Amino acid sequence: MLAAMVATEQRQFPRLGLGLPVTLLFLGHGQVEAELQDISRGGCFFKSKLDVSLDRRISVVLSATGGKTCQASGRVVRTVAYRGFAVLFDQDDTSSIDEFIADITPLHQENRAALLSSVLKPEIQIY
């Protein structure tokens, strides 16, 4: 009975908390401020009050001031009303995400958003 009450973790890859402010760019609809709450090799979660439909295509581009770019594409697989939406990255599109995660994993979670906000220009395109 106790085992039935414990939620089973369904994620294939561990999440890395970010809390990074980002701008969502809706092609043809303008910009919306949001937060990249967490990221993993398999996907990410955006905190936003915006209503985003399931299966909508997303392109994540994180450009560092030194010229290094991290990008991945995927689709919305889960939405939480007035809280945000989850993106599952395409499997063949995660090598730069892996590298990005490896670079920031050693940082304490409190320091990640501050550091990333100062060196990244996050651009999230929603098709």
Confidence grade of residue 126 (pLDDT, cut at 50, 70, 90): confident
53 or 8: whose pLDDT is higher?
53
96 or 5: whose pLDDT is higher?
96
DSSP 68-95: -EEEEEEEEEEEETTTEEEEEEPGGG-H
> What pLDDT is recorded for position 97?
85
> What pLDDT is recorded for position 6?
45
Side-chain half-sphere exposure of 44, counting CA atoms within 13 A: 31
Which residues sit opposite 30 in a β-bridge? 26
> What pLDDT is recorded for position 2?
46
Mean pLDDT of 47-66: 86
Least confident of 11-25, 35-49, 70-84: 11-25
| Rounded percentage of the chain residues whose pLDDT exceeds 70 | 87
> What pLDDT is recorded for position 78?
96
Least confident of 2-11, 96-105, 107-116: 2-11
97 or 87: whose pLDDT is higher?
87
Long-range contacts of 71-76 (CB under 8 A, 24+ apart): 71/96, 72/96, 72/97, 74/43, 76/52
Closest-CA residue to 60 (of 89, 35, 27): 89
Please name the fold of domain 14-126.
Answer: Thrombin, subunit H (2.40.10)
The structural domains of the chain, with segments of one domain joined by +, span 14-126
